[in-house]
Amino acid sequence: MNLSLVLSQARFDAKITVRNGEQLLLTLIIPLALLLVLTLSSFIALDVPEGSSRVDVALSGVLAVAVVSSAFTSLAISVGFDRRSGALLLLATTPLTRTSILAARSLATLVVVLVQTLLLCAVAGILGWRPGLSTALALVFVVMGALVFGALGFALGGALRAEATLAVANGLFLVLLLAGGTVIPASALPGPIATVVGLLPSAALGDALRTLLASASGNLVWDATVLAIWGIIGAVTAART
């Protein structure tokens, strides 16, 4: 695998993502708007642990939403439409191997997620959030979440037609936003639903970030295990599509 070619393609993919209006809406505008609404308004009730502030809890959930939007929804849609347009087949005629193409797209997605994270943390800082010792570990979970949802995004984008991918990816994003354990913890949902949602990667990521950034009680080992299992499922499925 030629590293320089991968980096060049990753840079190109990242530029395409940030220049696309729909992708920009998913990756930046919605997470920023959600952070502002959750922090400045009491319209949505948030469970704020003692010693933490509303912005701490809001940032934790919004970071999880941002990872889902970029690493899953945006990636799945772009892969689906690239397949339909023949862009991926065209790339296959270049010196880039299949592995290089996947690595470049994954790297581009990770860069977008990290930029999202920095911007959201900067805005949260203006709103009163202050990083702590656990912030570095939270960043590790953000990266892990991006890799897991990236694998799931590749799997979805490679399995369905472009139009179906668009509908399913956007639909799942809304479901995970509203009831996937991102903004609202799985534990706050009704009993049987909470059990099911607690097994989702979105809930594991949200819980881990709340534990690290908002001093919520949680089990980081369990969260990491759930993410790892979903990552394996996504990677195996993507490899077969």
How many angstroms separate the CA atoms of 53 and 39, rounded?
Answer: 9
Q: For the chain, what is the largest distance between any 2 Cα atoms, rounded to a whole number of angstroms?
A: 57
Sign of the CA dihedral running 204, 209, 212, 218: negative
Closest to 106 in 3D by CA, of 177, 155, 59, 141: 155
Lowest-confidence region among 1-15, 109-123, 181-195, 200-214: 1-15
- In the block, tokens 């922090």 appear at 39
pLDDT band at 12 (very low <50, low <70, confident <90, very high): confident
Can you say how many angstroms the Cα of residue 78 is from the centroid of all Cα atoms in its chain?
Answer: 15
How far apart (Å, rounded) are the C-alpha atoms in residues 207 and 46?
A: 13
What is the domain partition of the chain in residue ranges? Answer: 3-41+50-240
The two tokens of residue 57 are 């809890």
What are the Cα distances from residue 60, in Å, to 86, 169, 209, 237?
A: 38, 22, 5, 29
Q: Once rounded to an integer, what is the mean pLDDT over residues 160-168?
A: 94
Q: Say what the pLDDT of residue 113 is.
A: 95
User: Please, is 177 exposed, middle or buried when counting C-beta atoms within 10 Å of its C-beta (0-12, 13-18, 19+)?
Assistant: buried
Give percent above pLDDT 90 in the chain.
65
pLDDT tens for each residue of 201-213: 999 999 999 999 9
Look-up: residue for tokens 């991102």? 182
Beta strands in the chain (DSSP E): none
Contact indicator for 109, 150 with CB cutoff of 8 Å: yes
